[in-house]
Structure 1
Amino acid sequence: MKNLSGKVIETKAFSPNELKPSLGKKLRELREVAGMTQSELASQIGVSRSAVSRMERSEDLSVVLLKKFVSGLGATLRVDASFDSTSPVTLRVREAFGSECTNDDQLLFPLFEEESFKASRDVVLSIKPRYSTRILDGTKTVELRRRFPVQVPKGTLVYIYSTSPIRALTGTARILGVEKIDLEEMWERFSPVACIDRGDFDSYFSGLEQGIAILLGNVRPLSRAIGLSELRDRFEFAPPQSFIYANPLLREAIKNESSSLPH
């Protein structure tokens, strides 16, 4: 093939695998973005510079080496399995492990992470107004769910999103505990403080033998409700069907302004 100057240049067809960036190349790019040389990273993780060079040329690395490489950059390694919400496997994973969809389209199940659920991973709970108002006035101290991660530690911050017709972030609370228990025991222990009648309880948990009880405390109404339009514009917020992890923008605003957000 000739270019515009008349010189002959060689053309070559690449396979899809050849066009896909290798793992090693991605690691090299990550190191360069972090502003470290191979020698600096090698010193940080206790290997030779040539060992780092081999990692960056590799098409495949063990989890141990991946963890070592990223730890030298000040990062932690997490590996997730992503399931489409319509996959028949998704329901079984959610039931078996108490996992939850991060949005309407997928479920992320952690295969490997250096720490379990961190307290800093605040959550947003979607709650019907007839229940959220009772949480905020102190009447309702337990939120009942079909599914919720049982490994969430005490002290995790919860943002209360009141669903339609309010459609606003209305308050915060702290998780005092999470229990997965038989439904009859749940009803006996928590019905007085869950503010739910027996008919609604049985209907909600239909088809299950166990449910999740989320114990709440340190409830604080926001000084003003943050409506859905503002949440979308300022914090890239999308209301969850059940719960989501709060994004960094929203977490930082709540942290800095306590119970009041800046206008």
Structure 2
Amino acid sequence: MKKLSGKIIETKAFSEGEIEVSLGRRLRQLRELAGMTQSELAGQIGTSRSAISRVENHDDVSVAMLKALVGGMGAKLRIDASFDASSPVMLRIREAFDVEQTDDDQLLFPIFEEEPFRTRRDVVLSIKPQYSTPILEGVKTVELRRRFPVKVPKGTLAYIYSTSPTRALTGTAYISGVEKISLEEMWTKYSSVACIKRSDFDDYFSGLDQGIAIQLEHVRQLPRAIGLDELRNRFEFTPPQSFVYANPLLREALKHESSSLPN
């Protein structure tokens, strides 16, 4: 997936027999979409027009050249390894790295990037009503989790999905910080604002030495709770066990839902 002139261009996978979507041809299509000639692109990356032509007529392109080409078009190359939930390495990767969880069934591990959570992406947090209610009331200002990306940028918008029996999107909050710390330090530091009993805390984090503290601010309750049936019908929404990135359609609709909220 590449970004050109403010637009995201998603390329398709191809097999050896599918010449029409070969890598060389895909690069030519992207160059043309960027409005550049071969000579212009060559000048941008310090090579010859014939070198660009050779690349566009072959599929054997080095990663260095590929990065240079998309960089010359004003884009940034991204290559990810996608692991399904059934993969035996998924749990080990989730434990070892702070990687992107695109949904409940997939883990996205960037090959090049040092910081997997590169840009702000709105998230939907599934929270039990006994904890989401005090968040909306302004009493609970920290959400505790076993796992969550620690590199989430400050200011990321979190939509609060209250689980059963409420089963609805009920509010929003901004993430002001994410901290991975020892459980004892977490309890000492956040127990007064996490609204959780010590016994429940110990049960939830059983088997771990560290946990994640998500700091919340600017909490707002939606003008109306959006129930699960409506979420499914309008946005093909499936409640995550922990969190999921909000899809563009949901984000756009909720901008209008929350526009009437008082400041």
- Could you state the TM-score of these two structures normalised by the residue count of structure 2? 0.83
Q: Which stretch shifts more, 139-148 or 38-47? A: 38-47
Q: Call closer, same or farther: CA 1:234–1:260 in 2, change over 3 Å.
A: farther
Partner amino acid for 1:65?
A: M
Equivalences, count: 246
How far, CA to CA, are the matches of 1:91 and 1:122 in structure 2?
24
Contact 1:119 1:157 in 2 (8 A): no
Paired with 1:116 and 1:105, the residues of 2 have a C-alpha distance of 18
Contact 1:122 1:246 in 2 (8 A): yes
Kindly indicate whether the alpha-carbon contact (under 8 Å) linking 1:22 and 1:59 is maintained by their aligned counterparts in 2: yes
Deviation at 1:80, TM superposition (A): 1.1
Q: Counterpart of 1:191 in structure 2: which amino acid? A: S
In structure 1, C-alpha distance between the alignment counterparts of 2:97 and 2:142, rounded to whole Å: 21
Q: What CA deviation, in whole Å up to 9, does each residue of 1:28-78 have, x standing for no partner? A: 233344554434443454443222212222323333322232234443222
Whether the aligned pair in 2 keeps the contact of 1:173 and 1:218 (CA below 8 Å) is yes
Number of the residue aligned with 1:91:
91
Instruction: Determine if the alignment matches structure 1 residue 17 to structure 2 residue 16.
Output: yes
Which ranges in structure 2 are unaligned for 5 or more consecutive residues?
1-14
Q: Which runs of 4+ in 1 moved over 6 A?
A: none
What residue is the counterpart of 2:102 in the other structure? Answer: 102
- For 1:17, the aligned partner's letter is E
Give the Cα separation in 1 of the matches to 2:67 and 2:258.
Answer: 35
Unaligned residue ranges in structure 1 (runs of 5+): 1-15
Bigger shift: 54-63 or 17-26? 17-26
| TM-score (norm: length of structure 1) | 0.83
Task: Give 1:246 shift.
Answer: 1.4
Deviates more, 1:201-210 or 1:67-76: 67-76
- Using the alignment, how far apart are the partners of 2:174 and 2:77 within structure 1? 27
- RMSD over aligned Cα atoms: 2.5
User: Would you say the 8 A contact 1:222–1:259 is kept in 2?
Assistant: no
Write the distance in 1 (CA, Å) between the matches of 2:233 and 2:125. Answer: 19
Q: 1:115 to 1:144 in 2, by over 3 A?
A: closer
**Contact 2:79–2:112 (Cα < 8 Å) also in 1:** yes
Deviations 1:119-143 (CA, angstroms, capped at 9, x unpaired): 5311111111111111110111111
Measured at CA, do residues 91 and 230 of structure 1 come closer, stay the same or move farther in structure 2, by a change above 3 Å?
same
CA 1:62–1:251: 2 relative to 1, 3 Å: farther
Amino acid at match of 1:69: L
Confirm or deny that 1:165 pairs with 2:161: no
| Preserved CA contact (<8 Å) 2:98 2:116 | no
Bigger shift: 157-166 or 17-26?
A: 17-26
* Structure 2 counterpart of 1:208: 208
Q: Which residue in the other structure is 1:154 paired with?
A: 154
- 1:76–1:114: 8 Å Cα contact kept in structure 2? no
Cα gap change, 1:157 to 1:119, in 2 (>3 Å): farther
CA distance in 1, matches of 2:146, 2:43: 49
**3-state DSSP class of the match of 2:144?**
strand
Aligned to 1:227: 227
